[in-house]
Amino acid sequence: MLLIDYFDDLERDVCRKINGLSRAPVVREFFAAVSKLGDYSAYVILGLVCAADERVHGPTLLAQSVITAAVGVAVYKLLKERLVRERPFIRHGDIVCRTAPLDRYSFPSGHTLHAVSFAILFGNALPELLWILLPFVILVGASRVILGLHYPSDVAVGALLGASLALLSERCAQALGYSVWA
């Protein structure tokens, strides 16, 4: 895996600098909390809030969200198992892990994938939530690098995959005649 090793080494310095921010307890605790919210709890709450809004067809939005999330899990797990990129804190001794990882490998970031896909789905249903969703997406992606769990490229590819899956989900729902609007 010489290509992965090349990118690991290429991103090492930027990872180390970003991870250095986690030395401050307030930064570490804040981003650990953001990362924990990105495990799913925030999406369940936001999904239920969106589905309860009278302007939204709740069952369609919830079904679309669950299906998109399941496909996202399958895609990122397949990629992680095939590409086996070690996490930065494993590969580089000067990068510190600040919270327990959910699995072993780094590429792509599943947290970022889901943050982006849910932001698109929920933002499409209720655009006024974008002022909450967009900063949360940025914070989730940043948390993964700050906490030593991912390289910036893991986060970038996770975001690209999440956007692609959400947009594909929107297109499929439209093609099948489903709409999240009541």
Residue-range definition of the domain harbouring residue 171: 24-175
Quick one: CA dihedral 43, 132, 111, 38, positive or negative?
A: negative
pLDDT of residue 79: 95
Q: How confident is the model at residue 148 (pLDDT cuts 50, 70, 90)?
A: very high
pLDDT of residue 14: 92
In a domain, residue 78? The reply is yes
In a domain, residue 182? The reply is no
In a domain, residue 127? The reply is yes
pLDDT of residue 1: 56
Query: Which of 93, 88, 105, 92 lies closest to 146 in space, CA to CA?
Result: 88
Chain CA centroid to CA 79, Å: 15
Considering the chain, what is the average pLDDT of its residues?
A: 91
In a domain, residue 141? The reply is yes
In a domain, residue 19? The reply is no
The residue-averaged pLDDT of 148-162 equals 96
Chain segment 86-121, per-residue pLDDT in tens: 999 998 889 999 988 988 899 999 999 999 999 999
* Domains identified in the chain, total number: 1
Could you please report the per-residue DSSP string of 134-176? HHHHHHHHHHHHHTTS--HHHHHHHHHHHHHHHHHHHHHHHHT
Q: How confident is the model at residue 34 (pLDDT cuts 50, 70, 90)?
A: very high
Contact status, residue 156 vs residue 29, Cβ threshold 8 Å: no
In a domain, residue 145? The reply is yes
The residue-averaged pLDDT of 144-172 equals 96
